Amino acid sequence: MKSHKNQDPTIMGIVDQMHRCDVPLNAIVNVLSDIYDGRQNFTFTERDLKNRKAAVAKAERENDIPKLLEFFKEMKVHNEYFYYDLQVDSENIVKNVFWSHASQRAEYRDFGDAVTFDTTYKTNMYNMPVAMFVGSNHQLQNVVFGQALLQDEQADTFEWLFQAFQDCMLGSRDPRCILTDQDSAMAAAIKRVFKKTQHRLCRWHMLKKYRSELKKLYKLHEGLKIKLLTVINHPLTHIEFEAAWNELVDEYGIREDGTIKGLWDSRKLWVAAYFKPLYCGRMTSTQRSEKRE
How far is 40 from 54, CA to CA, in rounded Å? 24
CA dist 23 and 141 (Å) reads 34
**65-202 to CATH, choices 3.30.43, 2.60.40, 1.10.10, 3.30.420:** 3.30.420
pLDDT of residue 124: 47
Vertex 133 angle, CA 283 and 146, to 5° = 145
pLDDT on residue 130: 86
Inter-residue contact 98 to 146 (CB < 8 Å): yes
pLDDT, mean of each 10-residue run, the chain (293 residues): 66 86 88 87 82 71 77 93 90 87 94 87 65 88 92 90 94 86 88 92 86 94 94 88 95 94 92 78 54 43
Residue 121: its pLDDT value, please? 67
Between CA 148 and CA 99 the distance in angstroms is 6
> What does each C-alpha distance from 114 to 10, 27, 100, 140 come to in angstroms?
52, 47, 17, 12
Domain boundaries, the chain: 2-62, 65-202, 205-275
Q: Which residue type is seen at 223?
A: G
Which is it for strands 130-136 and 142-149: parallel, antiparallel or unpaired?
Answer: antiparallel
pTM listed for this prediction: 0.70
